[in-house]
A = this chain, B = another copy of it.
Amino acid sequence: METQKGLETFRAALCRRHLAVTSQRMKIARAVLEAQDHFTADALLARLKADGARVGRVTVYRTLKVLLEAGLVEERAFDKGRVAYERALGRSHHDHMICVTCRRVIEFESARIEREQRRQAQACGFEVLTHQHTLFGHCRGCRAKRGNGSKA
């Protein structure tokens, strides 16, 4: 499974930063690498606790930072005031559409957009590390339910 590769990368990241491989850190990393969708730090903590792990909020945040810098998770700003995390390993880069009604998240990918984005950055002498591209609107389902007929 991909998780194993991720855990190795995580170990290496800890090593590079002279941090010990502890059971808490490994548990958090494993939970993150196995996550199937977006999650908040607090949701992650809750899940770990529900699974009987003895970890604190602080350690979760600290470990997420390491995972982030190792490129194993990415941060998203879907809702204001809170950060959503998303596993980055084993998934191609993608962007998001958020339904403002039902909060559903639809992923999309466009090589054309990525290419044009790279061109734009290059023109400004800007080196892109990460990016976020999010569309907010109404998903098909919510449009069907109402507000669809007249205004498009």
Interfacial residues, chain A to chain B (CB-CB below 8 A): 75, 77, 80-81, 83, 97, 99-100, 106, 108, 110, 112-113, 116-117, 120-121, 124-140, 143, 152
Contacts and interface: CB of A to CB of B under 8 A. Distances in A.
Given A75-B80, A113-B117, A126-B140, 12 more contacts: A97-B121, A97-B126, A99-B126, A106-B124, A108-B120, A108-B124, A117-B133, A117-B135, A127-B143, A129-B138, A132-B133, A132-B134
A137 B128 contact: yes
A71 to B, nearest CB: 14
Complex copy number for this chain: 2
A125 B139 contact: yes
A100 B131 CA distance: 12
